[in-house]
Chains A and B, each alone.
Chain A
């Protein structure tokens, strides 16, 4: 018996496997994004486009606490207007965060939200949020930024407290 030759097809398979896996590493970026959106993985919050009607149980209460952080010497003071709210799942609520630019220049920033516990993230939906867009803070300006949200009734009954935290990062422009 003769030894086998290395065929062209075999070569193509061998070389394309690593190339495909290299591409897969980049494909993980959008896959991860979609995965986070579907599962609320990593505390990623959801979005609703209009005030939907939910079946509301008036007796159920969930405590939502608001937190704020800034990263890497972000020069704008930033914090929630109220530190917590008692909400009924299925109803829309409005609250706001206050930001004050203490510097003489315009500062640009982007807020990144995160919800804990992560199992609640999927059911914490925002209709309106300052985190949807990049924000510009004029020198010495104080702004109130609104947040309109709903906690969906599908939220696990065992969860009675939700924390929403925003982290502001400075942008160049």
Chain B
């Protein structure tokens, strides 16, 4: 009976028309929805960034009111974190995890549909605040109280609701991934046979269900402080605004690893493929990822060194922060050791992956500098911080997402993208992104504060360079859009394993992965042949 239903499913293609996408429970459809949504949000958040850089092109106030500038920086951060990077990784997870573990679909397909379809509404609510009286939230993406409680516009309540929805979506996505990896895995696949992308996503899911509810708690407290007379963050009622920062960063620090761990997974697939060597130190990669995840929960107050902490607490948070460099270093050394004496070629995904290792490490090092208490007193709230987190989030997380897109696009579409254009786009983006963000280190060291629409004359030159880099980087996404659409429509059909040395169960599927794959689980022999741990 079971076999009969299974073979019936085989011929069950996607529904026709628009309702296919609304009603779909297929992990591949939902993965595509997530990726297109994330890409749209990337362009929206990128447009805000263009506005910010245009205002900062010259000293003085040119284009907008300071209040609107603050709205742009706030919404840029929120949209990029919650609308672009996180949904993009969930999209990659949806597409790839079932194929990588030999599962026919996600464990909870209807919840999967729901967790996606919450997102456009949450995004629309968040963006609609621009058109409300008092404007959009303007208190920065970290929404510190009392700026976000006592002194915030009425639209903040819509922002709170949007954050609740985004949190729901992420938590459901995480539950789904845990259930899929632990229950739907091919019965012959042991945990230590799992590809690293699956491992990193599994660990990220635990971070999500640990951290996102804390964020939901923080915004709920904001909501009751604003509307129902509580005083969680109000000193007059016995509350404490610094408590907000503790709760926020208890979420916020795991959040940054939520955005980077899946990126580590992606890079751990691409580098072995194009170095034509097995991944160096598979199990140490798994343990390093788990250690980073654990440490991410106990370092949050390094974002708050200037709030007035006893020296002992500052020392603890400084040392604990430094400790994260150890497992992260293990990963970087493993990637380098994988490339060492490999027969390397530099197809587009590899270019993105190698530049990820280099540029993410720069971001990691500036993070270490910020983790040093006496140094942080100078760097705090300057453009050095902006440069740091853009190196880890743009040339880290976003780089890995683009790398993954080029690497798996042939599997998703059955077609090959235009390699020449891919390389042109890579060099365009990698040069412009450094022109954009590298000078911001110098601006920060010279003392230029973040989140201010105007600046003193001595910062003018570096800001001009940074803005020009920004416009060039922004424009590069027009080419990326073209390359992806061109691949989907006109790409040359490719084989089922377009990268000769690629390992992984997904490459055993048809060139364009079937709508329903792995109705029968893969055999032990196949799993071993495709394992990264060998």
**Chain A residues within 8 Å of B, Cβ to Cβ:** 1-6, 10, 14-15, 17-26, 28-29, 32, 36, 39-43, 110, 112, 114, 116, 118-119, 167, 169-171
Contact = CB atoms under 8 A, between A and B. Distances in A.
A19 B213 contact: yes
A17 B210 contact: yes
A116 B308 contact: yes
A6 B107 CA distance: 8
A6 B179 contact: yes
A161 to B, nearest CB: 16
B307 A42 contact: yes
Contacts of A18: 171, 175, 209, 212-213
A111 B211 CA distance: 34
B187 A1 contact: yes
A15 B243 contact: no
Interface in B181-200: 182-188
Main secondary structure of the interface of A (DSSP, over half): helix
Contact of A41 (B107, B216, B310): B310
What are the nearest 10 A-B pairs in CB distance? Answer: A25-B217, A1-B187, A21-B213, A169-B236, A22-B213, A25-B214, A18-B213, A112-B235, A4-B183, A118-B310
A28 B107 contact: no
Contact of A14 (B179, B215, B221): B179
B482 to A, nearest CB: 40
Contacts, number: 105
B213 A28 contact: no
B187 A2 contact: yes
Contacts of A169: 235-236
Nearest to A17: B209
Interface string B233-248: 0011000101100110
Contacts of A19: 213
Contacts of B250: 25, 28
B127 to A, nearest CB: 26
B431 interface: no
B132 interface: no
B313 interface: yes
B213 A25 contact: yes
Nearest to B243: A32
B170 to A, nearest CB: 10
B247 A25 contact: yes
B144 interface: no
B310 A119 contact: yes
Contacts of B478: none
A169 to B, nearest CB: 4
A122 B252 CA distance: 29
Nearest to B184: A3
Interface in B149-182: 171, 175, 178-179, 182
Given A1-B187, A41-B310, A43-B308, A167 B178 contact: no
A32 B246 contact: yes
Contacts of B220: 25
A28 B312 CA distance: 21
A17 B107 CA distance: 18
B310 A3 contact: no
A58 B250 CA distance: 45
A86 B322 CA distance: 41
Nearest to B314: A118
A109 to B, nearest CB: 8
A21 B218 CA distance: 11
Contact of A39 (B182, B215, B235, B310): B310
A29 B221 CA distance: 10
Given A26-B217, A28-B243, A41 B309 contact: yes
B214 A10 contact: no
A116 B344 CA distance: 58
